[in-house]
Every structure is written in C-alpha cells, then in structure tokens.
Structure 1
Amino acid sequence: MSSLIKHRGTAIAWMLSLALIGIIAFIYMGPKLIVITGLSPDTLPKVNAVLNGLAAMALICGWVAIMKRNVPVHRAFMLSAVGFSVLFLVSYVVQHGSFPSVKYGGSMGWLYYPVLISHIVLAAIIVPMVLITLVRALSARFDKHRKIARWTLPLWLYVSITGVVVYLMCAPYY
C-alpha cells in the first residue's frame, strides 16, 4: 500500500479532487437529486459550520503540536481535520443536493461576497493540496510534505474559518 501511495498518490489525489469538484458543480447546476424527508433546510448548514469549526481547531492544534515537534499528536490532529473535512463535504453535498442555496439578504454584501468568493475559489484549490499533503505524509516523504504543508495549512485554515463566517452571515436567511 505504501509503495502504491508513494508512486501513484499524487495522481490519485488529483483524480479525486477533480471528481469531487465535478460532483459539486453538477449539484449546483443540475436537478436536486437527493430527497431527505423530515430535515429542516437550516439543519445541515449548522452541521457544516460546526464541522468547519472543528476542522479549524484541529488544524491549529496540529500546527501547535508540530511546532513542539510532537509528531504523534500532530498526526492525530491533522487526521482529525481530514476527517472533519470529509464529513463536511458529505454533508455539503447532501445539503446542496437536497435544498436550494440560500441568498444573502443583509446590508453587508461588500463584506459577504468577497469572503464567499475567496472561500469558494480557495476551497477548490485546497482539495488537491490537502490530498497531496496527506499522501506525502502517509508515504513518509516528509521533506516534500513540509514544503506543501506550509501552503496547505494557512489556506485550509482560511477556508475552514470563512466557511463558518459565511454560515453566520447567511444564518438569518435559512
């Protein structure tokens, strides 16, 4: 397994990233295919915000751990961040496959839209970066892992935090 990850991991990360971005684009542009009964339209956005917040906290704790050279704790927190982000993506796909997107109705559009646009663009960019960073760690290519992690961490943290901000700004309109 480690050999497969080492030699094919980056290609697999890119393929998964493109597939995920394609699925999300289809969900936005295509028909609503997922039907969930008994679920309020504001439930999953709350879940998504909590998962983004947990991912952000795990990222910060993982960064603090590696700064203290505590690799096992770093690994645990970073894998937790990956787990929270995967759960977020599943919930996000279900949410947008089930319910129409909410429109922001506040008076702070000058703040909301730049945050939203930067969040969306960086979310698409961060998916392959997270997967490649993870593959490099799992395949023990720590020199390459460190190089990309320096970029991955702040972008991933920004995406996680702005996910919560976007939710908080839209919460009154669900």
Structure 2
Amino acid sequence: MVKEQPDNKVYLRIIYLISMLIPLVVAFLIFFPSKLSFAGDWVKALPGVHAAINSLTVLTLGAALIAIKNGNVKLHRTFMFASLFLGILFLLSYVTYHWNVESVRFGDFNHDGEVSDQEALEAGTSRIIYLVILASHILLSILVVPFVLFAFYYALTNQIERHKKMVKYTYPVWMYVSITGVVVYFMIKPFYF
C-alpha cells in the first residue's frame, strides 16, 4: 500500500495559480475588444467540438463512478485521467475559439452581434432559461477547477480520506458543468453563423 504523502506547498501554490489564471485568461479573451483571427474559419466549428468533449466527459465521469463503486480503483483512475485530459482539451479549444471569434448571443436572430428588444421579445422565456443555465454553468465551471485539481492532488498523494471528502461535492458539480455545457450548446446552436 502506498503511504500517504504530506502536502507539498509548491503543488498547492500551482493549483491556486492555475485556478486563478484560467478564469482571468478566459474572461480576457471573451471581453478583449478585438479578436486575433489567426486560425481561420475552421475555429467556427469548435463549439460543436466543445459539446462533443463535454459529452465524452459526462461518459468518462460516469464510467469512473461505476468503476469506483465496483471497487476497481485502477479503472476509476483511468477514467478520471481521461476526464481531466478532456477538460484540458476543452479549455485549449475554448481559448482558441474565443481568441478568434466573437461570442454568439442567444436571440441574435439577424447575427449582428446584438440582441435588440424585438429579438429578445421573439426569443421569449427561452432566452431567460438559457441565461440562467449559462450563468450557473459559467459560475460553477470557475468554482470547480480548484476542487478538481485538489481532488487529483489528494488521490495522487494517497490522501484518500481527503480525496473522498473533496469529490463528494466536486464530482456532482463537474458532472453538472459537463452536462450543462452540452445543453447550452444545443440551445444556442441556432444562433451560430
């Protein structure tokens, strides 16, 4: 059996740094006044890729839960590392997209980048539902990052009791963020160019 390792302050600082940098970089790219447009038109297909990555994350998270419930730690670890890899892949793709393309707005029927009062009226309550889901998705995706990283850290340092306490809350939030990522994509898909 692997002995529990004490906390390494360097790794903890890295987790805190990553947890702060990710939302700052994403916010900067989304709200940056001009886009770089270095990648070409292919980046416009990335929201569909994001939905696929989120869907795969739901599957790997679900498989990891089943594996650990059945006592298969090795398989659980494999699926969790797959989920983490998908999360990193999503983040890189998401940053690439927002570095190059203006954000699409729900209800922008004429694709001018603005939602007029008439367009908002036409979108109706579906716009409000979309915005509530999107807001919860964004907020929880920011909040879950450090908890996911700490959960991995505790597992890798064999601090299993701390890991279990962390994932009790982290796992359902990560699952919610992944599922709502897919929901948000399909809700806004009609407004893409």
Normalising by the smaller structure, the TM-score range is: over 0.9
Structure 1's unaligned 5+ residue stretches are none
Runs of 4+ in 1 over 4 A off after TM superposition: none
Distance in 1, matches of 2:6 and 2:20, equals 18
**Contact 2:148–2:170 (Cα < 8 Å) also in 1:** yes
Secondary structure in 2 aligned to 1:88? helix
Corresponding residue number in structure 2 for 1:19: 21
Q: Which amino acid aligns with 1:104?
A: F
RMSD after superposition: 1.7
Corresponding residue number in structure 2 for 1:65: 67
Distance in 2, matches of 1:4 and 1:140, equals 6
Deviation track 1:70-121 (CA, whole Å, cap 9, x = no partner) reads 1001000011000111100000000111100001014411311110000000
Aligned sequence identity (%): 36
Distance in 2, matches of 1:72 and 1:142, equals 14
**Contact 1:129–1:152 (Cα < 8 Å) also in 2:** yes
Displacement of 1:18:
0.6
Distance in 2, matches of 1:34 and 1:74, equals 40
Displacement of 1:123:
0.5
Matches within 5 A, 1:154-165: 154-165=172-183
Corresponding residue number in structure 1 for 2:152: 134
Please, what TM-score do these two structures have when normalized by structure 2? 0.84
Q: Which amino acid aligns with 2:130?
A: Y
Structure showing greater relative contact order (alpha-carbon pairs closer than 8 Å, 6 or more residues apart): 1
Structure 2's unaligned 5+ residue stretches are 108-122
Corresponding residue number in structure 1 for 2:129: 111
Corresponding residue number in structure 2 for 1:29: 31
Query: Would the alpha carbon gap of residues 160 and 138 (structure 1) be closer, same or farther in structure 2, given more than 3 Å must change?
Result: same
Please, what TM-score do these two structures have when normalized by structure 1? 0.93
**Contact 1:48–1:91 (Cα < 8 Å) also in 2:** yes
Displacement of 1:125:
0.1
Q: Which amino acid aligns with 1:7?
A: N
Displacement of 1:37:
1.6
Distance in 1, matches of 2:159 and 2:173, equals 21
Displacement of 1:5:
8.6
